[in-house]
């Protein structure tokens, strides 16, 4: 995956189309020019790549499809990016995965340790 790009064209089109459908304002920050338009005081959804989230903070962060399309060779890079994305959340963090894999297994193990059940 090229740095600074959403994982798939479907992500670039699908999410904004759904937000438009329901009249939800959003900012798609896929490059430096778009990132410069970010204003934390504007009530809107910000759609970012993990790369472009660096240096920003949000009350709520949703990381969708964690590990999706990630090869074994890319796992170390993806772990670092996931850490960056996770630490952008100031209050709430939601991480989703559509199938079991390296990342979902690691996150489930961490969750168990944090809750005292692992």
Q: What is the pLDDT of residues 9-35, one digit of tens each?
A: 445 678 889 999 999 999 988 778 888
Write down the pTM of the prediction. 0.74
Domain 9-115: give its CATH architecture: 3-Layer(aba) Sandwich (3.40)
23-71: pLDDT as tens digits: 999 998 877 888 888 898 999 999 988 888 888 999 999 998 887 777 7
Task: Give which of 81, 115, 117, 82 is closest to 96, Cα–Cα.
Answer: 82
Q: Which two tokens stand for residue 99?
A: 């199938």
User: Mean of the pLDDT values across residues 61-82?
Assistant: 85
Q: The tokens 């297994």 sit on which residue?
A: 105
pLDDT band at 99 (very low <50, low <70, confident <90, very high): confident
User: Mean of the pLDDT values across residues 57-86?
Assistant: 87
Number of C-beta neighbours around residue 95 at 10 A: 19
Q: Cα–Cα distance between 42 and 64 in angstroms, integer?
A: 22
Please say if the pLDDT value at position 88 is more than 90: yes
pLDDT at 74: 83
Please say if the pLDDT value at position 3 is more than 50: no
Q: The tokens 């964690």 sit on which residue?
A: 66
Close Cβ partners of 91 (under 8 Å, ≥ 6 residues apart):
59, 60
pLDDT at 98: 82
Backbone φ, ψ for residue 108 (5° rounding): -65, -40
Helices (H) and strands (E) in the chain, counts: 4, 4
């Amino acid at each position: 995956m090229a740095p600074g790009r959403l994982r798939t064209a479907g992500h670039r089109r699908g999410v904004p189309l759904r937000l438009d459908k329901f009249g939800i304002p959003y900012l798609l920050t896929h490059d430096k020019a778009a990132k410069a338009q970010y204003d934390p005081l504007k009530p809107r959804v910000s759609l970012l790549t993990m790369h472009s989230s660096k240096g920003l903070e949000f009350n709520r962060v949703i990381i969708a499809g964690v590990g999706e399309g990630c090869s074994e060779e890319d796992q170390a890079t993806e772990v670092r990016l996931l850490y960056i994305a996770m630490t952008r959340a100031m209050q709430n963090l939601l991480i989703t995965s559509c199938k079991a894999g390296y990342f979902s297994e690691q996150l489930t193990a961490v969750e168990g340790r944090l809750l005292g059940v692992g």
